[in-house]
Structure formats: structure tokens, C-alpha cells
Amino acid sequence: MESPVGLAQIWSGGLIYIVPFLFVLTIIVFFHELGHFLVGRWCGIKALVFSVGFGPELIGFNDRRGTRWKLAAVPLGGYVKFLGDENAASVPDRAAVDAMSDAERSGAFPAKSVGRRAATVAAGPIANFILAIVIFAGVAYVEGRVVGDPVVAEVRDGSPAAAAGFKPGDKVLSADGETIRYFSDLQRYVSSRADTPIRMTVERNGSPVELAVTPRSEVQTDGFGNEFKVPVVGLVANNDGSSFRVESLSPVEAVAYGVSQTWFVTTRTVDFMGEVITGRQNADQIGGPIRIAQVSSQVSTIGLGALLNLAALLSVSIGLLNLLPIPMLDGGHLLFYAFEAIRGRPLSEQVQEVGFRIGLALVMLLMVFAFWNDISGLV
């Protein structure tokens, strides 16, 4: 008698993870591939397939230009297959292109100039950054921006801020000469400067005071129990001292905010990748689909705006990931096109084949590593 109830609980629990995950991932994948598709069409390249997901087709239709639009069974990515592509990774099918008539070849991807091919490939990651700007701007315009004055309510004992001489009531005016308007500006500035001295100017009793503080990386836990490592100085704000409020933004201000947020996420992600490579950050913070599904589910409990902001953040990450110079990824294709532009002719098919095989191996290793981190985090 309890079995149906247990199955229902498992099913409903699974939906809590799956639905937000699919919502976020589908938005990101669709706009990434739409970038490839639109620029490719503008460059005169015929698109054969536009797929969200891999594997067997679930539903689909053909548009009036002959492109097959479809939703596939495995929702972990997507692709646009152009005329002349051998597979979803846009490996050129030279034999097929050579067998085409002149009219057919005019719409084939491999037959286009290196500039048109590069523009089509780069359009995917660029679309990810544009999507992030639009989402950040849209959410900020609709919901407003929560801001608070950079007033110190508490200085944690034993913290870098305590050692530097900060006191409750201090108002932070600048960091390394950069104006600090809100407490969030201070948090963002500190978050990318672990073990790097920062010169701050604070207002104390109506007079400016110069202080120097070095952020220290600490493991913190968010409201959902997720642990992450972040640089901190030990300054705490509260609603009384910092006057937290919701600030409405004009359309122009919202777009500027979207650009600013996207740039911050981009630079912070690049810094994080560099810190992982140099050993300053633990690689176990790199997650895969399971962790994304978990975070998506948690964030969805906050509201649609928070879930959309997560989609924007992940869109930037996927855009950067695709720009890595690894064959199989967009960045690898762009690397090949750069060599082609310099040499005046494409790399040999043998060299490209070896490159794609190496790229596939690297991508698979990254996926296995991310899955391992996901599973380890569940244990």
C-alpha cells in the first residue's frame, strides 16, 4: 500500500530538480545555437538541423527553408548542423562538399570564406553574453536592485578587517581609488582579490581615514547548505546601518547594470579558472549537470527572477567554456580558422582529425571530472 505513495514522492521530488534545470539549460542552449543559426543564415549558409538536445528526436518540424527544428531526448546541449558538416560538431565533410553542384556548394559551410565561418562559430558564445546582459537588465528593470550603503555594522573578531583597524560605523568611500557606492560594490571588489592588499578610504566621525586590508579566503555556507570558498575581510552590514532598499532603474540604467553584471561574472569566472589552474582554488568547485540541477532547484524556491539570474550566470560560463581553444568546442574551430587565415589555406584533414580526437578526449575528461565532483558532493 505504501509503494505508490513512495513512487509519487520520488517522482515529485525528481520534478523539483528536473523542471528548473531543464528551464535554465533550454534557454541557454537555444540562444547559443540561435546565434550560430542566425549569423550562419546571414552569411548564406544553409542550416539542415537546429536541435535542442542530442539523441532521438522527440518532436520537430521543418521550416519553409528546409531546416529541421527539433527537441531531442538528451537535454545536455544542442547543435546546428549546416550543409557540408559531417556531424553535430561541425567537422567538415570534404567528400560531400566536393560532390556538390556549384549551386549546392554556395550554401555549404566549409565552402564559405574563413571570415564567414569564424563569424558563424563565434556567434554562439557571443549570443550567450548578450543573453546574460538581457536577463540581468530585464530582471533588474522589473524587480529593481537591492542596494545598501557601505556602512560597517560589525567587524568580526580575528578578521583581516579587525587587524586593519576598521570600526563599526565606518562608511567605506573607496577601494584602491575606486568609488564604493553600495555595500555590494565592496563585496564584489573584495571577492576577486584574495591575498591581495587593498587600500580603502573610510569616513569616520566625518573625517577620511586610510586603511589597508588583505582579504582572506574562507569556506562559507549559503542558505541551502552549499559550501564555497570566497575572499572576505570580515565586514558585516545590517539593515539599520546600511539602509538596504530596492532601487528602481530606468531602461538605460538597467542595460548598464546588465553589462556591468555580465562583465563582472566574466572576469570573475576567468579569474576562478586561473586560480584552479594555479592551485589557489579547489577544482572540486567545478560542477556538472547534477550540481546545476541541484542549484537550479534551490534557486527556484526564491523566485523566477533568481532563477533567471542563475541562467544568466550559467550563460556566461557556457559562453566562456565554448571559447576555450579545444577542438570540438567553438574556440577550437576559431583556432583552426586563425591558422587558416595566417597560412592562407586550411590545416590538413589529418591534422584536423587528430585535433578533433584530442578535443573529444579532453571534453570527455572534463565531463567525467564534473560528474565525479557532482557525485562526490552527494555522498
pLDDT digits (tens, 9 = 90+) for 8-27: 444 344 556 677 878 888 89
Q: Between 174 and 327, name the one with better pLDDT.
A: 174
Cα gap 118→132, rounded to integer Å: 22
Q: How far is CA 50 from the centre of its chain?
A: 22
The pLDDT of residue 339: 92
Domains delineated in the chain: 115-144+251-379 (no CATH), 146-247 (2.30.42.10)
Pair 80, 49: CB distance under 8 Å: yes
Model confidence over 98-146: pLDDT tens digits?
A: 888 888 888 999 889 999 999 999 999 999 999 999 999 999 999 998 8
Angle, nearest 10°, between helix axes 304-322 and 289-300? 160
| Residue 259 cell numbers, joined | 553589462
Pair 80, 18: CB distance under 8 Å: no
Of 34-38, 64-68, 342-346, 360-364, least confident by mean pLDDT is: 360-364
Per-residue confidence at 338, pLDDT binned at 50, 70, 90? very high
| 154 in active site | no
The pLDDT of residue 374: 65
Which CA distances in Å does 91 have to 97, 114, 180, 327, 357? Answer: 12, 15, 49, 10, 11
Pair 189, 271: CB distance under 8 Å: no
Strand 198-204 relative to strand 207-213, pairing: antiparallel
Furthest-apart CA pair in the chain: how many Å?
81
Model confidence over 285-315: pLDDT tens digits?
A: 677 766 767 777 777 778 888 889 999 999 9
Closest CA to 55 of 32, 31, 79: 79
The pLDDT of residue 362: 85
What is the average pLDDT value for the chain, to the nearest integer?
A: 85
Out of 33, 210, 253, 349, the active site residue is: 33
Model confidence over 317-335: pLDDT tens digits?
A: 999 999 999 888 899 999 9
For residue 340, pLDDT beyond 70: yes
Pair 268, 276: CB distance under 8 Å: no
Model confidence over 56-80: pLDDT tens digits?
A: 999 999 999 999 999 999 888 899 9
Burial group, residue 235, by CB count within 10 angstroms (0-12, 13-18, 19+): buried
